[in-house]
Structure 1
Amino acid sequence: MMRFMKRVALLGATLFIWTMVIAGNGAADQPTLSKIGPALHHPWGMDFLRDDELLVTERRGNLLQINLTTGNAHQIGNVPDVYHKRQGGLLDVMVYEDWVYLCYSAVLAGGSSTAIDRARLNADSKTLTDRITIFTANNPSRSGHHFGCRMAIPRTGSQAGYLFTSLGDRGDRDNAQDPAHHAGSIIRLHPDGRVPDDNPRHDGWAPEIWSIGHRNPQGMTTDPLTGTIWTHEHGPRGGDEINHIISGKNYGWPTVSHGREYATGVRVSKHESLAGYVDPEWIWDPSIAPSGLAFYPHDATMFPAFQGQLLVGSLKFRQLYLVRMANGTPVDEQIVMDRAIGRVRDVTVAPDGSILLLNDEVTGGVWRISR
């Protein structure tokens, strides 16, 4: 069943909301917010290289390694050239086994497309080696909009070991209902870029596509217990969505949408639900501009009330949300952090249970919520 969140009067003082949601047993048990490492220029994605070492991308084309204990940082060489225009650039990073995966907007004849490289780090962690491009979306565009570019590889469940990546519609909404286009889809690959034989392969679908009908998904995660894929995506002026991604399904954009046109406020579609399309699990109206998505682990103990729940960053309201799950479905939400660090671009959970955030500013950086 679709859950609809009409957002009204959910703003308040940072300290009040913080204390209410992350309750402790006393002053010494209250959460702290601290910045780690140097200022970063529009950081976009992050993942753990080791428990105390984080890889972070800057949209302008830099990859950095940051020590979470000391704050020391250094830049890593041999990253791909990127189409750094508007929303494009070096976007997500993911570590899987011995490989580093980068999702970015590639410079191509005719403009750019969302692409994925994988590489290894050399012995001193200063340079990427063996870097190859394992996927490039078809139909390049000169648009600087809607690249998507979140990645996830489930560690458990029937999809364990497959690489899932979100692709935005590149600012052309018709792409999302044209399954011959990669734009506006979720794709599924083997980690080396090969196309699995059991991808949906519906009539007219590009072989890499797992689902279609997506606008600009900038959050993707997997349930650590089941391995199921969850995403969220931007809607225009309302209609931000959380979706449970299922093979071969159509998630509606723009045929089915709660969003409104930016210029006129008129609804994009007269349909909020329609047979043959998957309803969102959760909707924000007005938009929060979600970016970054993570499950708080079921066995993490730093914030036990968060176990098994979703954490969602907001660019527009500069907040961190906790979306509570019951029986695998979102049921309500609360604000965890309100306007304390700026635009929240990405969120992840450290091995010790602390929560790491990226704020997407000219002088942004890595922040940690811990206690």
Structure 2
Amino acid sequence: MNLTRPSNATSLTVLAVAGTLLAAVAHAQTQNVSTELVAQGLQNPWGLAFIGEGRMLVTERPGRMRVIGADGRVGEPLKGVPAVDAVGQGGLLDVVTDRDFARNRTLHFCYAEPGMGGNSTAMASARLSADATALDNVQVVFTQKPKVASRLHFGCRIVQAEDGSLFLALGDRFQRMADAQTLDNHHGKVVRVRADGSAHPDNPFVGRAGALPEIWSLGHRNVQGATLGPDGRLWTIEHGPQGGDELNRTDAGKNYGWPVITYGENYGGGKVGEGLTRKAGLEQPLLHWTPSIAPSGMAFVKSARYGADWQGNLLVGSLKFRYLARLVMDGERVVREDKLLPNLGQRIRDVRQGPDGFIYLLTDDRDGQLLRLKPGP
């Protein structure tokens, strides 16, 4: 079946048409890849970053950050991590190393920040100490406004742009989903700030009355993966409600529709709002999964470790169905989805390509693992 829709959206769903079920999922080839255990005993690991000499930094949602040695040894929790609100989906979440980490040893991380009114997603920067045991000079550079009492939809993926500015994806906080369509708050938005937390001067809503200047894009539900594509532009994935998980290329000033349009439905059944899947002025996803796979973590394959056929592919983890999706791309068009590691049996939370060219996975469990994806012969 041709996966291209007239709107340039792709649906990997099962559609009931004239009483016949048509599988719109592309054929899932058996791929000759396997996993190698790097480290284990991590409690609900969430974000992964590379700090040189074969070492990695992992966040654990309850509020700990640890160094994983080149030998797989799990270090003690780093000192200096700020207090996090580890409730529901909240806690210590994503982490990335600065583009100039080799010189400045700077990290950027995000977490559920407690405060008056409840909690919200915050982003901080810090310097990793010379002995890699502590965070020094921790500075909170951004706090989502307003704080609300919620255990859900924190978003919290970070991408550093080529100019050093930082994209931060923010959830709609669930009960505040209507906020995703207004510009006077940070709910359901992607924001872009400079390293000091100030709004990037080229952001699309700078100077607009009633709009928060940090906003880059709006109409998001709960972004759980973000990366720069081969084109150097921002790509994101987000959770839909019982369907309608989305892949988007997330451009300045664009509105990605939630909750006005969605391919999902309310929990327990029933339409979201007016039940629309498209509306003029609102962006269509490049791909949507219905039923939901609960995507989390994403990385474009840039190395040659897995062969030429894999270069330019997009890898996405599934929390719900516990597999790794390999999306074969033709520019912005998804031409095939292959389901890898179908017997893994673990929720994939993060997907990263390391400086050695290998793909690394974090599994979300009380006894979570760090895995290396091994290519076949």
Same fold at TM > 0.5: yes
Structure 2: distance between partners of 1:62 and 1:161: 26
Aligned to 1:348: 352
Tell me, yes or no, if structure 1 residue 254 matches structure 2 residue 254: no
Q: 1:331 offset after TM fit, Å?
A: 2.4
Match of 2:165 among 162, 165, 175: 162
Does residue 1:242 correspond to 2:250, yes or no? no
Q: For residue 65 of structure 1, what is the aligned residue in structure 2?
A: 67
Pairing partner for 2:150 from 124, 130, 143: 143
2:4 paired residue number = none
Q: Does 2:321 align with 1:294?
A: no
Which residue is 2:85 aligned to? 83
Superimposed CA distance per residue, residues 163-191 of structure 1 (whole angstroms, 9 cap, x where no aligned partner)? 10100000121111121110100000112
For residues 341 and 101 of structure 1, what CA distance do their matches in structure 2 show?
31
Matched, 1:48 2:50: yes
CA distance in 1, matches of 2:278, 2:11: 12
**AA matched with 1:125:** A
Structure 1 236/36 Cα, relative in aligned 2: closer, same or farther at 3 Å?
same
Is 1:254–1:269's contact at 8 Å kept on the other side of the alignment? no
Q: Partner of 1:152 in structure 2?
A: 159
3-state SS of 1:161 partner? coil
Q: Does 1:221 align with 2:230?
A: no
Distance 2:135 2:346 in 1: 31
Percent of aligned positions with the same letter in both sequences?
A: 39
Paired AA for residue 79 in structure 2: G
Q: 1:198 to 1:74 in 2, by over 3 A?
A: same
Q: Deviations over 1:54-94 (max 9, x none)?
A: 11000000000002334343321100100110000000011
Aligned residue runs from structure 1 range 182-201, under 5 A: 182-201=186-205
The one-character-per-residue Cα deviations of 1:192-238 (angstroms, maximum 9, x if unpaired) are 21211111114432110000000000100101x32110000000010
- CA gap of 1:230–1:102, structure 2 versus 1, over 3 A, is same
Mapped pair 1:5 → 2:12: yes
Unaligned runs of 5+ in 2: 1-7, 15-21
Bigger Cα displacement from structure 2, 249-258 vs 330-339: 330-339
SS at 1:294 equivalent: strand
1:304 and 2:308 correspond: yes
User: CA 1:249 to 1:222, structure 2 compared with 1: closer, same or farther past 3 Å?
Assistant: same
Aligned partner (choices 288, 291, 295) of residue 283 of structure 1:
288
1:122 positional shift? 1.1
TM-score (norm 2): 0.89
Distance 1:173 1:265 in 2: 16
Residue identity opposite 1:219 in structure 2: G
TM-score (norm 1): 0.90
Q: 1: CA distance between counterparts of 2:249 and 2:200?
A: 20
Where structure 1 has 5 or more consecutive residues not aligned to the other structure, the ranges are 12-16, 24-30
Deviation at 1:10, TM superposition (A): 9.7
The answer (yes or no) to whether the contact 2:181–2:258 under 8 Å persists in 1 is: yes
Does the 8 A contact of 1:341 with 1:359 survive in 2? Answer: no
Q: Which residue identity lines up with residue 96 of structure 2 in the other structure?
A: M
User: Partner of 1:274 in structure 2?
Assistant: 279
2:184 paired residue among 158, 163, 180: 180
The Cα shift of 1:355 comes to 1.5
Paired residues, number: 352
